[in-house]
Structure 1
Amino acid sequence: PSILFFLLIFLLNNCVFLQTLVFYFPPFLGALADPITQQANFPSALAPGTDSTITFPEEHEDPRVSTATGGLWGFIKGVAENPMVKSVLDKTKHSVETMITTLDPGMVPYIKTGGELDIVVTSNKEVKVAAIRDAFQEVFGMAVVTGEAAQSNIAPQPVGYAAGLKGAQERIDSLRRAGVIHEKQPAVSAESFIEELLPDKWFDIGCLIIEDPIHGIHLEAFTQATPVPLQYVQQAKSLTPEDYSLRWSGLLVTVGEVLEKSIQNVNRTDWHVVFTGMSRRQMIYSAAKALAGMYKQQLPPRTV
């Protein structure tokens, strides 16, 4: 099916290109032949028996046609660089992509994967990778976004902003130390944590950071805060031994694990939708889009 989609793009683009030549650029088609000088002999009405040579004026080249590059290739190149042709082809490409992604939404990552931006996400979980990929491709148009599994040396359930930031940063550092990614590779990392923002009112928050050593960029963004009922936080605390070695950074049992055991049909990795109606992927996407927007603003302007 993918081959058929790309074949459809090729055929439609070529059809529009040919139609543009015929309807918008007829002078170009007539300019392909070399100018000629024609001569014809007609009997003279003034002097019978003598011939008069009539020479037709030489046809001048159309000034709209560039002669820098000869032949058919030069003609096609000149037409393709015309702003009107580019506009028609861009609109056609956008229309075809819209049709394809409407019929098969799964084609979106393939169409928008590419370009100069290459980002590695410090996770191989689709909920994180897909959300961050969609966000960066939305902001930059095209981007290569892949995921690599990474570990952090903090508790499974981080508690507090500092623990969340540390966990996200350690995931990037661990991939660099292991040589999985280059030391200059731009990377995005996400880490969820809980925080008591109000007395006895706990919230789950996601921390996202991007690190680009080449341009010296380091940015943070946070997802919206999702309320977590107090009893589930207390259960997670009770299941964490006091002498737990990573107690300084959080809890041994995650809130998601407690919710999965306590509430029917709740998944430990995406329980947010039960309490807010918004999935974790949507929350990560929103924060990642803001992160991508800030990152784009801080990148140096491209030189053509």
Structure 2
Amino acid sequence: MMEEINPGENTSSVSEQTKPTPVVVCDVTTQVDKESNPDGGNEASGVWSWIKSASSNQFMQSVMKKTKTGVDKMITTLDPGMEPFIREGGDINVVVTSEKEVKWGAVRDAFQAVFGAATVVGVPAQSNIAPQPVGYTAGLKGAQERISYLRHSQQVDENQVCVSVENFVAEHTPDKWFDVGCIVLNDPVNKIMLEVYTLAVPVENEVILDMQRETPDNYDLSWSGLAVTVGEAIQKRLPWVSPSDWPRALTGMSRRNIIYSSSLCLAELYKRRLPEKVIEQNV
């Protein structure tokens, strides 16, 4: 039986009963975030502060250094050719006055071995002496002139650390000739000048006589040496020998290794002369 509704009766109570209850949506995630992190935007700064404090901690620095060393050793074991690239960088930056890898590559390996990290590149440079210097004075002058050439031609900055390698022949005792390399380092900023000499490699008298015969009597640079190098003279006698690496064929030791061993000494001497703050920054 249907209930009869009086037209004059108030029907508001009925409409209120049938009206759906509104649903209130609460952002729970936002609320939880606000409760757990009242500062809101300071969360990022807190993370960076932690990283900053951790990086300055000696223990963390030691852990990171050991981790990097372990990774580097693994990479160089799998691919030894990667070692020069891994050790590139640091505050030690050197320019070698030659584009020959046998020279600048040997200096690079030596400086990286001593300093841990170093950037070494080769730039070709000229000298105003004979192609084959004779005597210690001529060898030293040739090395110094190559550095001066790079500075005067503005191929390097006036404060750039430079290393120069110059090979010469010298008669140590009568009829006993040797090939020697002079390696010079010049650091204008720290006012460091160093020079070392490589292992003396014997040169046969017949080779020296060939070089002297092929040098004209009126040779303009005869005051400093000869017109033909040791490598060129040896190659004429032994065509299969490379003029740039004749020591390997005659002594079993490459020119690169000869330069490298003396460059190790040069780098160590340089390290001892540098201010402590420069060494600490590179470690």
Answer yes or no: same fold by TM over 0.5: yes
> What's the CA shift string for 1:21-50, capped at 9, x where partnerless?
xxxxxxxxxxxx98xxxxxxxxxxxxxxxx
Equivalent-residue separation in structure 2 for 1:77 and 1:296 (angstroms): 30
Shift of 1:71: 3.0
2:104 aligned partner: 129
1:206 aligned partner: 181
1:92 aligned partner: 67
2:158 aligns with one of 151, 162, 183 = 183
Question: Larger C-alpha radius of gyration, 1 or 2?
Answer: 2
User: TM-score scaled to structure 2, two decimals?
Assistant: 0.79
Equivalent-residue separation in structure 1 for 2:123 and 2:55 (angstroms): 41
Aligned to 1:188, the other structure's residue is in SS state strand
Equivalent-residue separation in structure 1 for 2:64 and 2:275 (angstroms): 29
1:283 aligns with one of 249, 258, 279 = 258
Aligned to 2:265, the other structure's residue is in SS state helix
Is the Cα–Cα contact under 8 Å of residues 227 and 275 in structure 1 kept in the other structure?
no
Equivalent-residue separation in structure 1 for 2:146 and 2:100 (angstroms): 14
Aligned to 2:277, the other structure's residue is in SS state coil
Structure with the greater relative contact order (CA < 8 A, sep ≥ 6): 1 or 2? 2
Equivalent-residue separation in structure 2 for 1:183 and 1:226 (angstroms): 34
> What's the CA shift string for 1:230-262, capped at 9, x where partnerless?
111110110001110000100001110011121
Alignment of structure 1 residues 60-209 onto 2, 5 Å = 71-209=46-184
Is the Cα–Cα contact under 8 Å of residues 150 and 175 in structure 1 kept in the other structure?
yes
* 1:285 aligned partner, one-letter code: Y
Give the 3 Å change call, closer, same or farther, for CA 182–82 of structure 1 in structure 2: closer
Equivalent-residue separation in structure 2 for 1:75 and 1:171 (angstroms): 51
Shift of 1:189: 0.3
Give the 3 Å change call, closer, same or farther, for CA 250–301 of structure 1 in structure 2: same
1:4 aligned partner: none
Give the 3 Å change call, closer, same or farther, for CA 254–177 of structure 1 in structure 2: same
Cα RMSD (Å) of the superposition?
2.0
> What's the CA shift string for 1:238-296, capped at 9, x where partnerless?
00011100001000011100111211421000011122211100011111111111111
Equivalent-residue separation in structure 2 for 1:70 and 1:214 (angstroms): 40
Is the Cα–Cα contact under 8 Å of residues 169 and 189 in structure 1 kept in the other structure?
yes
Q: Which has the higher helix share?
A: 2
How many percent of aligned residue pairs carry the same amino acid?
Answer: 52
Q: Which runs of 5+ in 1 are unaligned?
A: 1-32, 35-68
Alignment of structure 1 residues 37-48 onto 2, 5 Å = none
* 1:143 aligned partner, one-letter code: A
